[in-house]
Amino acid sequence: MRHIRLTVEYDGTTLCGWQRQPNGPTVQQHLEEALSKLLSHEVRVRGASRTDAGVHARGQVAVFHTEKTIPLHGIRRGLNSLLPETICVHDVIEVGDDFDPRHSATGKHYRYTILRASTRSPRWRDRAWHHARPLDLDAMRAAAAVLVGEHDFSAFRSVHCAAKTTTRRIQTLDLVEHPEDVLTVEVRGNAFLRNMVRILVGTLVDVGVGRFSVTQVAEILASKDRTRAGLTAPAHGLELVEVRYDGRRVSSGPH
């Protein structure tokens, strides 16, 4: 049995997230249907991150199993000919049978994009959260520093999160300014709770507009109470950039 790892990029705008569900098209569904057609047998795919509807990825990692001898470049070419334009497979490699895209991961990098312009931009409508109110970036950076490290992030997870443990380690949490009033929040950590990145971003934005102080962010973190943290930032601003395995970066080829 061959164990094949895929690195996948997708535009999540019209997708109902990663995980297969009856309510609409998902990345997992498209991959499984394309692979099953290509390999002439039923295929099940597992992914590193169960991204929500509207969330994008350039470095999602997935794995499937097959006994077919089709070469790796043939799998990539065949898959991309069958997948919709919103999904592309960049890398295909064989891995050991002990590889699990989620549990073998040692780190992930997420990017959240905020458009700080006074007027909205059609170009960014599906890729950035338009926030016209001025943001105090110094205060946001000071609050971000409070969140770096290993903590119980119960206050920054969805009420629907079913994780048994809530301690996670954020390695870096950086705010990066770009031209044309674009701000990205770059988050790297060992693992993340459901909606954790979006709630972190929403809370930092609340700091930026003066709703929370840096001291209050520390208190929210210690409280472990979701109701005290900020709003959940919109899904369309979030992108999974890369997944790491023992320090090795796995992200899509052309970026």
Opening angle at CA 16, ends 20 and 248, nearest 5: 75
Q: Which residues contact 243 (CB under 8 A, 6 or more apart)?
A: 48, 49, 59, 60, 61, 101, 105, 107, 108, 109, 250, 251
HEC per residue, the chain: CEEEEEEEEECHHHCCCCCCCCCCCCHHHHHHHHHHHHHCCCCCCEECCCCCCCCEEEEEEEEEEECCCCCHHHHHHHHHHHCCCCEEEEEEEECCCCCCCCCCCCEEEEEEEEECCCCCCHHHCCCCEECCCCCCHHHHHHHHHHHCEEEECHHHCCCCCCCCCCEEEEEEEEEEEECCCEEEEEEEECCCCCCHHHHHHHHHHHHHCCCCCHHHHHHHHHHCCHHHCCCCCCHHHEEEEEEEECCEEECCCCC
Out of 11, 52, 181, 206, pick the active-site residue: 52
Active site residue 52: yes
**Catalytic annotation, residues:** 52
